[in-house]
Structure 1
Amino acid sequence: MAGGVKKPVNIFKLKDLGEPSAIFNWRLWFAVISFGLLGAARGIDEGLISGAFNSKDFQATIDYDSYSTVEQADIKGNVAAMVQIGSVGGALFSFIICDRIGRIWATRLLCIVWAVGIIIFMTAHGSLGAIYAGRFIAGLGVGQTPVVGPVYIAEIAPASIRGLCTCIFTGFVYLGIVLAYFTNYGSEVNIGDTTHARWMVPTSLHLMFATIIFVLSFFQYESPRFLVKQGRVDEAVTNMSRIRHLPEHDQYIMHEIAMIRNSHQEEQEATMGAGKLGIFKELLLVPGNLYRLYLSIMVQFLSQWSGAGSITLYAPDFFSLLGVTGKTESLLASAVFGIVKLIASIICALFLVDVIGRKRSLLIGIALQCIAMLYIAGFLTANPRMGVDDSFVLPDKDIPASRAAIGMIYVSGFGWALGWNSMQYLLTAEMFPLRIRALATSISMTLHFGNQYGNSRAVPNMLLATDSGGISPKGTFWFFAAMTIIGGAWVWFSVPETSGRTLESMDRLFALPWYKIGLHGNKDADVLDDAAEAANEKATQAHTQEVEDRREDKA
């Protein structure tokens, strides 16, 4: 198929799909990195807000000390979670924007909205309402990033390294977290805690990244799959040729475009064409698509309530809870925590998702996270006054156990980065057919931010003592442990392996009976691939002839 081009040897692939070496070129990686940077939007906010909120100047700006303990927990939860609630709206409408104006212009638009919200937040001058509004508007932009970024990357990435490419988005989430944590730490040490600069300097990271992504978008090519969906086949061929670094008439380009067109035509025929409600009917009434939607919904629910996301958001508070003394020390511990998660995401991208597969990587991550949550829950059960009674002093004999609990925070972050946090983007971006991909990803990310909002808003109150309306720190971690165990069991029975499959071949996997998909899906679907390949070859020949006819007409 590649016309005699030497096949690459790649240790980062689960299996060799016969792809020519030219497609793994600098244009591909430049595009992947440019859109992967969108992941930093969430990472920066999750890493910044807790440290910024805990600065004395920010608290003085909103007269934080004048509120009761419960009111303070409510305000802290609201300020932290307002980006998430805004992101619900951003994710909900992103599919309309993505499918109307394309992946490139959607990126530019979200960068503008994101930056405007941050500017309002930074210039709120102590008005709690303006602070809420600014973070909500920023969320409208941030909420579009996990739809636009992973969808574009999945649509341009070769099948053999699609997992690696999509996980680069996740890696930038953690790069954003690391930069945010260390900026908070550096500002605390070098600027001090009593000036506006203490929290405004770290917050400016938002504006820096929004500007960089906006500028880089002008050097990228629109997704060929989006162009095929819009009926702009010639532009799709041109862009695919540029991204793949192969001539437009190369057999590989012809075959890839033909598969996309054939798959899109089959989707249209299966749903009697378009129509305003056509894609909704296709998503909800086609059994294979409904199962995919079920998977994406459960992934978002179980991942967010496993607790690791809230630990990222409130890392300084959790480290203080387990025995790290001093604000500077807890910020430094949080920064190291960010590095651990970044390293884990790199390991996941390079050596797991496309080498041992998505499902195994996810189960390994969940297992690590479960061990960590159970240990921390047991430690807090043995020391129930920690985090509840300010006068409590940990006995010397329990200090080693406290240090181990702190270490388990790092283990949970490592497991989260290997498992849930990588897969919640990757699986959603690669499972769905072209016609409904943006819609399905939008719904999934809406649920992502909805659950993240509920979790981030609830955790400050959950950590309160039971007489203050919470369930106490130990109860919170027992809850996280239980959700992690349930999540592991669900993944084992329900989630199929999707490594090495083209986006167009996913339909054959989800055409199987629902009870076979999770445990035996990939193996059984391989039987159907041979028959489909014959149809794709016919489509390739037809597309090649069509291109030749157009070239002759132009001549």
Structure 2
Amino acid sequence: MADQVKTARAPPAGKRQSSHASLNSEEKNAILSGKVEDLEPSPETYAAIMAINKPNPRGAGYIRLYLLASMIFLCSTMNGFDSSLMGSINALPNYTRYFGLPENGNASTGIVFAIFQVGQMCGALFIWMTDWYGRTWHIFLGCLGVCVGTVVTSMATNLPMFIGGRFILSFFATCAHTAAPLYLVEISPAVYRGTIAGLYNTFYNVGSILATSSVYGCHLHLADRGNLDWRIPLWLQMICPGIVVLLIKFPPESPRWLIAQDRHEEAKSIIATYHTNGDPNHPLVALQMKEMIGSLEEGHIASWKDLFDLSILVETRSSRYRLMLNIAFSWFGQFSGNNIISYYLPLMLNGIGITDTDTKLILNIVYAVIGWIFSAAGSRLHDIVGRRKMLLTTTAGMAVCLALVAACAAGFEEYGNTKASTVSIVFIFMFGAIFSVGYTPMQPIYPAEVVSNKMRAKAMGTFKLTAGAAGFLNTFVGPIALSNIGYWFYVFFVFWDSFEMAFMYFFFVETKGMTLEELDAIFEAKNPRKASVKAKKAQKRILKGEVSKA
């Protein structure tokens, strides 16, 4: 099989090979007919090979993969730093006074936050370029642009200049922050994809911790030194993207991108290095090379003209179903009540009687620490429990928490019950913990997993456009809604999260433990959701040893 991989060649231009290269006819027919439970496990699937010949996850190649991933995680830290930075800075009197912003928020406050989503949506239009010149170059240019945007915002002397700087920063941050998880999804081994790639978004909380801590420290010691208490944290935004700019061109490119460029030997070397600890003869190398060669449209080299060719997203029933999941989870990840809390926690605390600036900043830090701890645990749980069960359970928990927050906020607002105020804070933090476990690791990962190799770059652009639209609606409307309807805003999200749970149950596909190419057959089934659940049962049989070692 290894020899076959070495001599494989790209198909003629415009001709697409079967996307089921790793499946025999019996397996493919079983999946398409929905009879996965009757399927005899094959020794030539990813799960079967892992069951009898699993590479050492502590080997030299895996250690290199973990170090590579750690550097990529800084793109997420960068993103989390900005999001929490503005939420914390908005609580500083020096900042609001300098730009003439009211303490309790209005349309001007909203546009300062929401311009980040505008820049994000604009940046998403260029994600397709990762198919042209590669994933790592897109990350490099994105982080370099963030450094430029940081200089503009940190030196801003008026509100329009500050807003303009945030647009630049968000535009380029989107380039880096979208290409980074795409790169991790494509280079990570399937069995640890949820853990390694899922950890990426958990470092959003590391950025939140750094941002909120820096603002708190600067406010504590520099509040009487003019505007240093908010300008210094703005300058600190440059640290993470600066490190990435210096290091990103040392790691290899995505093996799937290299296959698309007809650079098979380089791709094979990367798979061998990072998935099998340098063993080019391991059966996983041959299997994954065969899958990637069979699934990618290698006869086509990406160019600037691809910007106008979006037909690949909707050309088949399978691709339309994939796009639906990509858009749905992109929206759910931003519109489940989480953005309101992360951006406007200080305003929410005002609403329940907590007005001291230091107290609000400390609670911001605690919220971020809780988020990181629980999201890191969630990234591993997604590879153990599975995506569907995790998302369904946590969405139900979020709805319950928001209902209790609304009830407690009503008790304080309507009856002046200070105990209800305290209880509402507990459930705000519990909501954050539950969201972090289920959603944070998967926010950029699940939208990348559910799309095919040829769709992935454009679909990640769609993911960012959708997330940006949801985030813009949240952050612009949020302060106005909180000021006018108070706790009823939380009630709305209780019903919305209930809808999300129902949608996930009927449509979301399980992706745990399958290679990106093995998922192709799942999506061609009449009911992909049912096919994925049944395939997971077959996978369990394989892992229990019900497979021949022949």
By the TM > 0.5 criterion, same fold?
A: yes
Equivalent of 1:329, from 334, 359, 365? 359
CA shift, 1:148, in A, is 0.8
Judging changes above 3 Å, is the alpha-carbon distance between structure 1 residues 326 and 419 closer, same or farther for their aligned structure 2 residues? same
Q: What is the alpha-carbon distance in structure 2 between the residues aligned to residue 329 and residue 489 of structure 1? A: 38
Q: What is the alpha-carbon distance in structure 1 between the residues aligned to residue 51 and residue 61 of structure 2? A: 13
CA shift, 1:497, in A, is 1.1
Aligned: 1:346 with 2:381: no
Judging changes above 3 Å, is the alpha-carbon distance between structure 1 residues 250 and 356 closer, same or farther for their aligned structure 2 residues? closer
Query: What residue is the counterpart of 2:529 in the other structure?
Result: 518
1:252-291 equivalences in 2 (<5 Å): 252-265=284-297, 276=306, 280-291=310-321
1:127-142 equivalences in 2 (<5 Å): 127-142=158-173
Deviations 1:188-231 (A, max 9, x none): 21222652210122122310011111122133111111110111
Query: What residue is the counterpart of 2:410 in the other structure?
Result: 381
CA shift, 1:238, in A, is 2.9
Equivalent of 2:235, from 198, 204, 218? 204
Query: What residue is the counterpart of 1:483 in the other structure?
Result: 496
Q: What is the alpha-carbon distance in structure 2 between the residues aligned to residue 474 and residue 104 of structure 1? A: 44
Q: What is the alpha-carbon distance in structure 2 between the residues aligned to residue 382 and residue 165 of structure 1? A: 43
Equivalent of 1:94, from 120, 127, 135? 127
Query: What residue is the counterpart of 1:115 in the other structure?
Result: 147
Query: What residue is the counterpart of 1:75 in the other structure?
Result: 108
Q: What is the alpha-carbon distance in structure 1 between the residues aligned to residue 319 and residue 299 of structure 2? A: 14
Name whichever of 277-286 and 296-305 sits farther off.
277-286
Q: What is the alpha-carbon distance in structure 1 between the residues aligned to residue 524 and residue 539 of structure 2? A: 10
Q: What is the alpha-carbon distance in structure 1 between the residues aligned to residue 307 and residue 264 of structure 2? A: 24
Number of aligned residue pairs: give it.
488
Aligned: 1:44 with 2:81: yes
Whether the 8 Å contact between 1:376 and 1:408 is mirrored in structure 2 is: yes
Aligned residue for 2:106, secondary structure, equals helix
**What is the one-letter code of the residue matched to 1:439?**
K
CA shift, 1:423, in A, is 2.4
Structure 1 unaligned residues grouped into runs of 5+: 3-14, 386-393, 466-471, 531-555
CA shift, 1:379, in A, is 2.1
Deviations 1:443-482 (A, max 9, x none): 11111112111111110111122xxxxxx11121111111
Q: What is the alpha-carbon distance in structure 1 between the residues aligned to residue 323 and residue 245 of structure 2? A: 31
Q: What is the alpha-carbon distance in structure 2 between the residues aligned to residue 280 and residue 430 of structure 1? A: 19
Aligned: 1:61 with 2:98: yes
Aligned residue for 2:296, secondary structure, equals helix
Whether the 8 Å contact between 2:388 and 2:510 is mirrored in structure 1 is: yes
Aligned: 1:219 with 2:250: yes
CA shift, 1:353, in A, is 0.3
Query: What residue is the counterpart of 1:366 in the other structure?
Result: 395
Q: What is the alpha-carbon distance in structure 2 between the residues aligned to residue 456 and residue 73 of structure 1? A: 11
Judging changes above 3 Å, is the alpha-carbon distance between structure 1 residues 379 and 287 closer, same or farther for their aligned structure 2 residues? same
Deviations 1:328-351 (A, max 9, x none): 10110111011111111011012x
Q: Runs in 1 of length 4+ with deviation above 6 angstroms?
A: 525-530
Whether the 8 Å contact between 1:31 and 1:220 is mirrored in structure 2 is: yes
CA shift, 1:141, in A, is 1.2
**What is the one-letter code of the residue matched to 2:293?**
R
Judging changes above 3 Å, is the alpha-carbon distance between structure 1 residues 90 and 18 closer, same or farther for their aligned structure 2 residues? farther
**What is the one-letter code of the residue matched to 1:257?**
M
Whether the 8 Å contact between 2:352 and 2:412 is mirrored in structure 1 is: no
Name whichever of 156-165 and 251-260 sits farther off.
251-260
CA shift, 1:496, in A, is 1.5
Aligned: 1:498 with 2:517: no
Q: What is the alpha-carbon distance in structure 1 between the residues aligned to residue 427 and residue 318 of structure 2? A: 39
CA shift, 1:417, in A, is 0.8
* Greater share of helix: 1
Whether the 8 Å contact between 1:84 and 1:143 is mirrored in structure 2 is: no
Aligned: 1:228 with 2:228: no
Equivalent of 2:419, from 369, 394, 400? 400
Whether the 8 Å contact between 2:74 and 2:241 is mirrored in structure 1 is: no
Query: What residue is the counterpart of 1:435 in the other structure?
Result: 454
**What is the one-letter code of the residue matched to 2:156?**
A
Query: What residue is the counterpart of 2:43 in the other structure?
Result: none
Over the aligned positions, Cα root-mean-square deviation in angstroms equals: 2.6
Query: What residue is the counterpart of 1:454 in the other structure?
Result: 473
Judging changes above 3 Å, is the alpha-carbon distance between structure 1 residues 64 and 20 closer, same or farther for their aligned structure 2 residues? closer
Aligned: 1:175 with 2:212: no
Whether the 8 Å contact between 2:390 and 2:438 is mirrored in structure 1 is: yes
Whether the 8 Å contact between 1:146 and 1:445 is mirrored in structure 2 is: no
CA shift, 1:134, in A, is 0.2
Whether the 8 Å contact between 2:87 and 2:342 is mirrored in structure 1 is: no
Judging changes above 3 Å, is the alpha-carbon distance between structure 1 residues 297 and 235 closer, same or farther for their aligned structure 2 residues? same
Whether the 8 Å contact between 1:512 and 1:521 is mirrored in structure 2 is: no
Name whichever of 243-252 and 439-448 sits farther off.
243-252
**What is the one-letter code of the residue matched to 2:127?**
S
CA shift, 1:258, in A, is 2.1
Aligned residue for 2:236, secondary structure, equals helix
Q: What is the alpha-carbon distance in structure 1 between the residues aligned to residue 423 and residue 189 of structure 2? A: 42
Q: What is the alpha-carbon distance in structure 2 between the residues aligned to residue 51 and residue 370 of structure 1? A: 26
Query: What residue is the counterpart of 1:537 in the other structure?
Result: none
Deviations 1:257-291 (A, max 9, x none): 222112225x879xxxx984896222202111110
Bigger RCO (CA 8 Å, 6+ sep): 2
Query: What residue is the counterpart of 2:28 in the other structure?
Result: none
Q: What is the alpha-carbon distance in structure 1 between the residues aligned to residue 257 and residue 349 of structure 2? A: 45
CA shift, 1:249, in A, is 4.9
CA shift, 1:375, in A, is 0.7
Whether the 8 Å contact between 2:326 and 2:446 is mirrored in structure 1 is: yes
Judging changes above 3 Å, is the alpha-carbon distance between structure 1 residues 529 and 414 closer, same or farther for their aligned structure 2 residues? closer
Judging changes above 3 Å, is the alpha-carbon distance between structure 1 residues 297 and 347 closer, same or farther for their aligned structure 2 residues? same
Q: What is the alpha-carbon distance in structure 2 between the residues aligned to residue 519 and residue 201 of structure 1? A: 52
Q: What is the alpha-carbon distance in structure 1 between the residues aligned to residue 210 and residue 458 of structure 2? A: 32
Q: What is the alpha-carbon distance in structure 2 between the residues aligned to residue 31 and residue 138 of structure 1? A: 24
TM-score normalized with structure 2 length: 0.83
Whether the 8 Å contact between 1:73 and 1:461 is mirrored in structure 2 is: yes
Percent identity between matched residues is 25
Whether the 8 Å contact between 2:525 and 2:531 is mirrored in structure 1 is: no
Q: What is the alpha-carbon distance in structure 2 between the residues aligned to residue 17 and residue 154 of structure 1? A: 24
Whether the 8 Å contact between 1:56 and 1:193 is mirrored in structure 2 is: no
CA shift, 1:293, in A, is 0.5
Q: What is the alpha-carbon distance in structure 2 between the residues aligned to residue 400 and residue 247 of structure 1? A: 62
CA shift, 1:18, in A, is 4.0
Query: What residue is the counterpart of 1:190 in the other structure?
Result: 221
Query: What residue is the counterpart of 2:55 in the other structure?
Result: 20
Query: What residue is the counterpart of 1:410 in the other structure?
Result: 429
Whether the 8 Å contact between 2:408 and 2:423 is mirrored in structure 1 is: no
Judging changes above 3 Å, is the alpha-carbon distance between structure 1 residues 190 and 156 closer, same or farther for their aligned structure 2 residues? same
TM-score normalized with structure 1 length: 0.82
Whether the 8 Å contact between 1:508 and 1:525 is mirrored in structure 2 is: no
Q: What is the alpha-carbon distance in structure 2 between the residues aligned to residue 438 and residue 100 of structure 1? A: 10
